[in-house]
Structures are given as C-alpha cells and as structure tokens.
Copies of this chain bind each other. A is one copy, B any other.
Amino acid sequence: MKTTLHTFEPAHFHTTIGWHEPVLRIRSGDVIRTWTVDSGGYDLDGNDITEGGNPQTGPFYVVGAEPGDTLRVHFSRIRPNRTRGVSGALVAPNVVDPYFVRELGERTGEDWWVLDLERGTARLEDPPKGLESLGELPLDPMLGCFGVAPPRGQAISCATSGEHGGNMDYRGFREGVKVDFPVFAEGGLFHLGDGHAIQGDGEIVGTGIEVSMDVEFSLELLKDKTIGWPRAEDDTYVMAVGNARPLDQAVQHATTELLKLLQEDYGLDYRAGSALAGQFIRYDVGNVFDPAYTLVAKIEKALLKRL
C-alpha cells in the first residue's frame, strides 16, 4: 500500500490530550512532517504563540483505528529548530529529602542554553558559578509529551501521563524509537509536543532543555492488537512503560506489561518470562517530577533473538 507524506502546519494547540477535533485524517502508514512549540508555547522564532503547559500539535486521526487496536508511532526525525533552549534552575523539592528542601534554597530564574544545530551541541549561556568550563554537550533530542486520546472521553492535562501516554518525559523517546499506544477513541487521536534538546533521568529540575522541534513520524495501525500500557522499541531494546505515582506503582505497571509483551510477542509464559527478566531486565527512570512518574522496563533484543 502506498503511503502518503503529509506536511502539516499547526495553527492551534491543546494543553490537554483528549477527544479533540482532528486536524488531519490519515491512513495507517502515512508519514507526517510537522513541528511543535516548546513547553511554554514558544515557536522556532522564539515567539509566544500559544498558552504554555506542553501544548500539543494535533490530534491526528488514523482511519480505521478503534478501541482495542494499537497505534504505533515511529519518530523518524526529532530535531530542535532554533538555537536557544531553557531549563529549570533548581532541583524540584519532591526529589530531595523533605528536610533538605530548606537547604536547597529558593528556585529563581532559569538556565538558558545555546544550541549549535550543525555541530549538535548545547552549552550554558550564562553558567552558574562552578560550571564555567562545562563547555559543549552533545544534543540528545526527544519528545517529553505525546500520546493518544484517553479512555471514556477524558481530556487529561499535558502535565501528567497515563495509559494513553502523555507527559512521560523519558529521554529514551528520541529519534528512531517506535512507541505503541492502546487506542481508546476512534481514530486514535495522536498528539505530540514538549521537545527537549537534552534531558536527564527523572527530569528533576522540572524540565529538559525546552525547545521547539521539527518532527517527522509515521502512524501505523495494529488492528486488533490490544495492549495495556505504552510499549516501545529502539535498536537495542523492547520496552514497556508504566506511568503512575508512586514510582513503585509505575514499576508494577511496566513490569506487568513487559511480561505480557514477552508472552504475546515472544511466546514466553510468565514462568519463562520471569527466568529471563529476572536476570536481564533493565529499568529506566523517565520522570520523577510530574504528577505521574514514568518508569520503563526493557529487555535487550539481542537476547530475544536467541529464542
């Protein structure tokens, strides 16, 4: 089947992920080339064109997608489209010991970063004392917030995440990754935004290096495949994502979903899945800042190829 390349210019944005009016209807396999504003609503020219709060481009409607299906997004390109990004200046109080919040000081201001898009690096524009010689760091662009319309007609704030994806802020969601979502609404209704030029594990200052992005991705409909939580795949790993607080519950969601993935896609019952995951599972911390935390459970594809 021939796929189409759509170039989409967003004109308005949503700060919830929900059952919003689609901006484009596409067929499974089609590719979309578009862009996203940064988390504050600023575009590639640094203009404040929409209200902040991880404003989303979309939603995109995939013809034929229905509840019970899976929608796979494949990000073929995630690139900053301007030369300045911004990050939070102080570790968030919820990720340090409660008594230590007093010692940490007040959060004031922010850090600006200069991005060199040709060389693929970022450097602090005005480094805090002690970091003057930190220099240039390699970009590792990713999207913090994307997903599909949640169940039951909900519209959920782009500050948080759930089974539908959302503000997962996981730095593994970079160019090349494929992420699967359970479909809850007709058409799936895929939204995307909140680009980070670089982000640490946990997003502990409440941001990555926030920047607007040029994004290219395809949407593929996996008909009648039903999943419980987002799943993903990159060159090295298959992954399952849990979004919840506390982090312990995110661990439970992700581990359960990974055991199901191993069963469904690799024929391993839970006994065999346990033997494999027990000694070879890897956990990544997505974010420990947002209302729901994100934890990723993953297994090397090289191991699975042996089976």
Contacts and interface: CB of A to CB of B under 8 A. Distances in A.
Nearest to A95: B255
Given A133-B307, A248-B248, A200 B90 contact: no
A155 interface: yes
A199 B102 CA distance: 26
Interface string A275-287: 1111111111100
15 contacts: A90-B270, A96-B252, A98-B98, A98-B101, A100-B252, A130-B267, A131-B276, A133-B306, A137-B303, A154-B155, A205-B274, A207-B278, A245-B246, A248-B248, A248-B293
Q: How many monomers of this chain does the complex have?
A: 4
Given A98-B98, A275-B89, A278-B91, A255 B111 contact: no
Contacts of A200: 277-282
A157 interface: yes
Nearest to A109: B271
Nearest to A53: B152
Contact of A269 (B93, B129, B270): B129
Category for how many chain A residues contact B: 35 or more
By CB atoms of chain B within 10 A, which of A97, A100, A156, A273 has the most? Answer: A97
Contacts of A131: 268, 272, 275-276, 307
A198 interface: yes
Interface string A6-17: 000000000110
Interface of A: 15-16, 18, 53, 87-106, 111, 124, 127-131, 133-135, 137, 151-157, 198-205, 207-209, 244-249, 251-253, 255-256, 259, 266-285, 288, 293, 303, 306-307
Given A91-B270, A128-B275, A96 B247 contact: no
B106 A102 contact: yes
Contact of A87 (B134, B266, B268, B275): B275
Nearest to A150: B157
B275 A127 contact: yes
Given A16-B154, A251-B288, 6 more contacts: A133-B306, A154-B157, A202-B251, A244-B245, A246-B248, A251-B285
B98 A93 contact: yes
A126 B286 CA distance: 36
A69 B255 CA distance: 38
A266 B244 CA distance: 35
B248 A306 contact: no
A241 to B, nearest CB: 14
Given A133-B307, A155-B153, A157-B151, A103 B270 contact: yes
A31 to B, nearest CB: 30
